[in-house]
Structure 1
Amino acid sequence: MPKQWNRDPIQAAYDLWVDKGWDDTADGMIAVTSLLRVHQLLMARADEILAPVELSFARYEVLVVLYFNEDAVPLSYLAKALQLHQASVTNLVNKLEKQGYLERRAHPTDRRVTLAQATRTGRARTRTAIRRLNSELYPQLGLTAEEARALVSIFAKMRHAWGDTPEDGGTDAAGALLHVAQSPA
């Protein structure tokens, strides 16, 4: 039978790291491990909140991009906006289409491009999902607004170090989401 933990297992792992003489990497290890655990907790809570509207957080993200765009958008743009592999986007779109939350169609002038657009039902589900997350998740992080902004700043620094943000460090997610209709496929 596995040993029962009477303390934080992540802190215990940190102590083991130090005990093994890996002091120079212990802070990085605990930061990564803590971040990954928080990700697991947030995803589980988001999926729990979205279950009544029959969405996972991943499907919700697709619908949010479509929600903020009146026109149909290329699936390739969804992949770029959500930072997902094209196959993952196709899988999510298949599920949402089966649920009746979006429609897929060919681009009118470029047969190589597939477009997606939220249906009336999909837009209504998205509004409900946004309300639920705005009341049950986003304000319940256990952080002050100042702490949340500091955390975002730290994450931005990490993302930039890994080449995940523009060279100037700027992120204009809202502008990028609204630019979709004019984006080439």
Structure 2
Amino acid sequence: MTTSPASGPASGRDPIAEARRQWTAHGWEQAAPGMAAVTSIMRAQQLLLTQIDALLRPFGLTFARFELLRLLSFASEQRMTMRRAGQRLQVHPTSLTSLAARLADDALVERVANPDDGRSAILVLTSAGAALVDEATEVLNREVFEAIGLSSDDVAVLVEVLGRFRAGRGDFAP
């Protein structure tokens, strides 16, 4: 979907509403609500990720790096196998290997041999990684998670609706 400058944010017009109107005008009435929902979710994700990336940049983190550090900080003894971390984050093993290597290069995690399985590694959060993720979490909590821009009732409904959607797509078993 492309928008002209006249339908962009500066004009105050909602480009997704315009796209929905166009879908309907072109005979796709049945698909128009779904297109608007999917496009709205994708746009909301872009807006949030742009904000989060800007807030994490001073910490030298991306959201993916932040997620892995935060996951390890919650784990027992602040360590987890690479396989389990990949499953929890729903990240392809190749992507997780690259992510872990960059964090290890920055001394935020250590990769140690798994004594129970010589073919796998365990990621261990370093004290520097723990301190960094705690600082970054404070910023994200204050600037994003506590200030999401919706009422608490709207947030509850949104989480519930998206949870049903995710469960229906096999993201988790309800």
Q: Same fold (TM over 0.5)?
A: yes
Percent identity among equivalent residues? Answer: 35
Name 2:63's counterpart in structure 1.
57
Using the TM superposition, give the Cα deviation of residue 25 of structure 1 relative to its aligned residue in structure 2, in angstroms. 1.1
Q: Which moved more, 1:73-82 or 1:108-117?
A: 108-117
Q: Which amino acid aligns with 1:3?
A: S
Say whether 1:91 aligns with 2:92.
Answer: no
TM-score (normalised: structure 2): 0.91
Pairwise CA RMSD? 1.2
Write the deviation string for residues 95-135 of structure 1: whole angstroms up to 9, x where unpaired: 11111110001112310111101100000001101101110
Q: By how many angstroms is 1:34 displaced?
A: 0.4
Structure 2: distance between partners of 1:144 and 1:151: 10
Query: Following TM superposition, by how much is the alpha carbon of 1:8 offset from its aligned partner in structure 2, in angstroms?
Result: 1.8
What one-letter code is carried by the residue in structure 2 that aligns with 1:48? A
Aligned equivalents of 1:15, 1:24: Cα separation in 2: 12
Aligned residues: 166
What TM-score, normalized to structure 1?
A: 0.86
Once the two structures are superposed, the pairs formed by residues 6-85 of structure 1 within 5 Å of their partners are 6=11, 7-69=13-75, 70-85=77-92
Match of 1:137 in 2: 144
Aligned to 1:73, the other structure's residue is in SS state: strand
Q: Decide which of 114, 132, 144 is 1:125's aligned counterpart.
A: 132
Aligned to 2:4: 3
Shift of 1:17: 0.2
- Higher mean Cα deviation, 40-49 or 69-78? 69-78
User: SS where residue 56 of structure 2 aligns?
Assistant: helix
* Residue of structure 2 in register with 1:172 after alignment: none
Structure 1 runs of 4+ off > 3 angstroms? none
**Bigger relative contact order (CA 8 A; separation at least 6):** 1
Which residue, out of 148, 155, 158, partners 1:148?
155
Q: Which runs of 5+ in 1 are unaligned?
A: 170-185
